[in-house]
Amino acid sequence: MSWLSLIKQWPVTTPPDEVLEVRPGVNVFSGLKLVLKVRVWREAEQRWVDVPDEASSIDGARL
């Protein structure tokens, strides 16, 4: 099979349905965000200490 024939086949053999199946799922969940806020009460000092917020996408990636 020649290079030319391979190049001509490439767009045809790419399965467009697989791409379309993946993208809706990614788009649906990309709009959810988790924020974890932690405040620590120090009994000996009688005061609250704020810890920086941690924001993540729902799969754990830091934002």
Partner 1 sequence: MTASCLTATGITFLVDRIDNTTTATNFWIAWGTGGSSTGGTATSADTGLKAAATEAYAVATLSQPAVDTNQFVATITAGTGKTIEEVILFGGTSTATSVGTNRTIIRASHGGQTLATGDAIQYTIQLQTTT
Count of residues in contact with partner 1, rule CB under 8 A: 24
Q: What CA–CA distances, in Å, run from 63 to 37, 39, 57?
A: 14, 20, 7
- Contact between 59 and partner 1 by CB under 8 A: the answer reads yes
What whole-number distance in Å separates Cα of residue 19 and Cα of residue 3?
A: 25
x-or-dash pattern for partner 1, window 26-45, by CB under 8 A?
A: -----xxxxxxxxxxxxxx-
* CB of 29 vs partner 1, minimal distance in Å: 8
SS3 assignment, position 7: helix
Binding site for partner 1 (CB under 8 A): 31-44, 48, 51, 54-56, 58-62
